[in-house]
Amino acid sequence: MIRLLAAIGGPVVAALASIGRLTRFAVTALLRVVQPPWYPAQVAQQMLTIGWLSLPVVGLTAVFTGSALAQQIFIGGSRFNAASTVPAVTVIGVVRELGPVLGGLMVAGRVASAMAAELGTMRVTEQIDALVTLRTDPYRWLVGPRILAAILVMPALVLVSNALGVMGGWLLATQRLGFNSAQYLATTARYLEVDDVVSSLVKAAVFGFFIALMGCYHGYHSGGGAAGVGKATTNAVVSSFILILLSNLIITVIVFGS
Amino acid sequence: MTGPRIAFAGVKKAFGKRQVLNGIDLAVAPGESLVIIGGSGTGKSVTLKCLLGLIPIDAGSIRVDGQEVAGLKGAALDQHRTRFGMLFQGGALFDSLPVWRNISFALGGSVAERRAAAIDNLARVGLGPEVADLKPSELSGGMQKRVALARAIAARPPIILFDEPTAGLDPITAAVINNLIRTLVTDLAITAITITHDMTTVHSVADRVAMIHAGTIIWHGARAELEGCDNPYVRQFITGSAEGPIKVPGVR
């Protein structure tokens, strides 16, 4: 019986300890974001890395997904004479779900891994210890700017992603499915609501927070040389994917569930 | 008579079940260059990190200029660290910053002033201003060590810690680094602690030598006393013999 309890209790305690460590890390980092001194050059550099350099991959994902979505809605809708719903369903699907979620996942794959690898390398090469000995708080210099930049830049990135996703659907619908261009755009505009856009941007900011948090957390606590950095990178990507999908579900239920 | 600048008394530190420091007792006088020798995994680097407050100790006392280090937090810990410069084993230069910004990282003033200070410190370690705008990855291992040395002395701290300063360097570059350390320690009247396996570093840099084994200081004395020392651990270490009381883990 004791063995059974130990077998169950050990992992539970370990999981609770991990949650506690992560929460403390997140709170410390967020406090550093709001308290001076700030490092605007670091934030700008991270905004460039996270936002501008992610644009090609996020944009391509949005265009291809928007096009594929329009094609599927057309095929499905044709079965019950509802092919005309393509513009409305595409814009709702892209803006509410696919734009932020796929954009978030693509950025997580690109950015969370890079952050974990960079901070992990800094940890194992003692650069983080060097920062501390130079009286610079690593949370303030490394973690805070990454989290702030991700929260600020992800909504802009998702806004572009949404526009490109809708454009992908429009391109396919007008070039391949025989839709009238002006009518398609007018229907799109009529069905797009402010709540859709706001929820999309809120999701993006939350995803940005989780992406940077996971990248920094796993990198910061990396150990064990190259293997440790590799493990931190994998953990950062997997955990940010899970948190993006979970938080997306929660936000969707809260905003649209009623 | 002044007291020691740095004093360790009964310092203990364990990581899980592994007792790394097992009662370190050590004192370093102002302006003295102490070299700590010892095998890998004996607690040399941990000793330095405890002194800097990077790793909290489990028991004992570390005093710097009479002030207790254990328990320092926040601004007091930052203030404690202003006394130190540190040369890390691999240099630990920030990859994303050019050389001059690495050196002037902890310095105040305008960009022009910090750049000028960086170039001045580069000159102290024998490097020209053309290095200032390079990234650390563009430098050789020896140049990286020199830049890291320039960063360690940039704020003119009264104490500098050197962690394996010649590790991974060829003998000639290692000799240059050793000479630089000795010159800087003498010229800037710095108190220095160097940890190393390299006996050339010991002979070039040390005023006094301490040997650490299994987390304890097992011998210490003036450099001149080292060769005549009859401690079997010290004899084995300085002669580099495989036979003796020190056993390498995993080797029969």
Query: Which residues in chain A are closer than 8 Å to B151, comparing Cβ atoms?
Result: 134
How high is the pLDDT of residue B241? 79
B82 and A135: CB-CB below 8 Å? yes
How high is the pLDDT of residue B104? 95
- Compute the distance between CA of residue B237 and CA of residue B157 in angstroms, rounded to an integer: 32
Query: Which residues in chain B are closer than 8 Å to A136, comparing Cβ atoms?
Result: 105-106
Average the pLDDT over A223-227 and give the result: 84
Q: What Rg, from alpha-carbon coordinates, does chain A have?
A: 21
In this predicted complex, what is the ipTM? 0.87
B88 and A129: CB-CB below 8 Å? yes
Quote the Cα angle for A215-A220-A221, to 5°: 110
How high is the pLDDT of residue A47? 96
Q: Residue B103's closest chain A neighbor by CA?
A: A134
3-state helix, strand, coil in chain B (%, to 5): 35, 25, 40
Q: Chunked in runs of 10, what are the mean pLDDT values of chain B (252 residues)?
A: 86 92 93 91 90 94 93 90 92 93 92 95 91 94 91 92 89 88 88 92 93 91 88 86 74 57
Give A100-153 pLDDT, tens digit per residue. Answer: 999 999 999 999 999 999 999 999 999 999 999 998 999 999 999 999 999 999
Cβ atoms of B207 and B222 within 8 Å: the answer is yes
Cβ atoms of B134 and B98 within 8 Å: the answer is yes
B54 and A132: CB-CB below 8 Å? yes
State both tokens at A230: 């590799």
Mutation to test the B interface, candidates A32, A126, A134, A136, most B Cβ within 10 Å: A134
Q: Residue B152's closest chain A neighbor by CA?
A: A134
Question: A155: number of CA atoms within 13 Å, CB side?
Answer: 12
- Compute the distance between CA of residue A234 and CA of residue A246 in angstroms, rounded to an integer: 18
Q: Lowest-pLDDT range, A52-66, A201-215, A229-243, B228-242? A: B228-242
Give A48-98 pLDDT, tens digit per residue. Answer: 999 999 999 999 999 999 999 999 999 999 998 888 899 999 999 999 999
Please tell me whether residue B167 adopts helix, strand or coil conformation: coil
- Compute the distance between CA of residue B133 and CA of residue B137 in angstroms, rounded to an integer: 12
* Phi, psi (deg, nearest 5) at residue B84: -115, 145
Q: What is the layout of strands, in order, in the sheet containing B59-64?
A: B18-28, B6-15, B59-64, B67-68
Please tell me whether residue B1 adopts helix, strand or coil conformation: coil
Q: Does A129 touch chain B (CB under 8 A)?
A: yes
Distance from CA of A129 to the nearest CA of B (A): 7
> Domain limits of chain B?
1-83+191-252
Query: Which residues in chain A are closer than 8 Å to B95, comparing Cβ atoms?
Result: 121-122, 127
Using CB atoms, pick whichever of A125, A127, A133 lies closest to residue B81: A133
CB contact residues (below 8 A), chain A span 135-174, against chain B? 135-136
Using CB atoms, pick whichever of B85, B90, B106 lies closest to residue A125: B90
Indicate the DSSP class of residue B168: T
> In 3D, which of A170, A203, A160, A185 has the Cα closest to residue A69?
A170
Kindly report whether the peptide bond that precedes residue A37 is cis, defined as omega within 30 degrees of 0: yes
Mapped to the 3 state alphabet, what secondary structure does chain A carry? CHHHHHHHHHHHHHHHHHHHHHHHHHHHHHHHHHCCCCCHHHHHHHHHHHCHHHHHHHHHHHHHHHHHHHHHHHHHHHCCCCHHHHHHHHHHHHHHHHHHHHHHHHHHHHHHHHHHHHHHHHHHCCHHHHHHHCCCCHHHHHHHHHHHHHHHHHHHHHHHHHHHHHHHHHHHHHHCCCCCHHHHHHHHHHHCCHHHHHHHHHHHHHHHHHHHHHHHHHHHCCCCHHHHHHHHHHHHHHHHHHHHHHHHHHHHHHHHCC
Distance from CA of B61 to the nearest CA of A (A): 20
**Count of pairs with CB atoms under 8 A, one residue in A, one in B:** 41
Q: Does A13 touch chain B (CB under 8 A)?
A: no
- Whether A182 has a pLDDT exceeding 80, the answer reads yes
Residue A20: which pLDDT band, with cuts at 50, 70 and 90?
A: very high
State both tokens at A116: 């974990």
Measured CA to CA in angstroms, residue A27 lies from A15, A18, A33 at distances of 18, 14, 10
> Domain limits of chain A?
2-256
Task: Tell me the fold of B1-83+191-252.
Answer: Rossmann fold (3.40.50)
Measured CA to CA in angstroms, residue A223 lies from A119, A238, B17 at distances of 11, 18, 18
Using CB atoms, pick whichever of B84, B90, B94 lies closest to residue A133: B84
Using CB atoms, pick whichever of B52, B93, B94 lies closest to residue A133: B52
B105 and A134: CB-CB below 8 Å? yes
Distance from CA of B69 to the nearest CA of A (A): 14
Distance from CA of B51 to the nearest CA of A (A): 11
Cβ atoms of A56 and A103 within 8 Å: the answer is no
A133 and B93: CB-CB below 8 Å? no
Mutation to test the A interface, candidates B73, B87, B94, most A Cβ within 10 Å: B94
- Compute the distance between CA of residue B96 and CA of residue B89 in angstroms, rounded to an integer: 19
B89 and A127: CB-CB below 8 Å? no
Distance from CA of B181 to the nearest CA of A (A): 19
> In 3D, which of A149, A108, A113, A121 has the Cα closest to residue A220?
A121
Task: Tell the residue number behind the tokens 């928007």, with chain if given.
Answer: A66
How high is the pLDDT of residue B125? 87
Using CB atoms, pick whichever of B78, B82, B88 lies closest to residue A130: B88
* DSSP bridge partners of B61: B9
Q: Residue B148's closest chain A neighbor by CA?
A: A130
- Compute the distance between CA of residue B240 and CA of residue B237 in angstroms, rounded to an integer: 5
Q: A182 or B3, which is more confident? A: A182
How high is the pLDDT of residue A9? 86
Question: A44: number of CA atoms within 13 Å, CB side?
Answer: 3
- Chain B interface residues facing chain A, Cβ-Cβ under 8 Å? 49, 52, 54, 78, 81-82, 84-86, 88-90, 92-95, 105-106, 151
Give A146-178 pLDDT, tens digit per residue. Answer: 999 999 999 999 999 999 999 999 999 999 999
* DSSP bridge partners of B9: B61
- Whether A21 has a pLDDT exceeding 80, the answer reads yes
Mapped to the 3 state alphabet, what secondary structure does B98-115 carry? CHHHHHCCCCCCCHHHHH
- Compute the distance between CA of residue B191 and CA of residue B185 in angstroms, rounded to an integer: 7
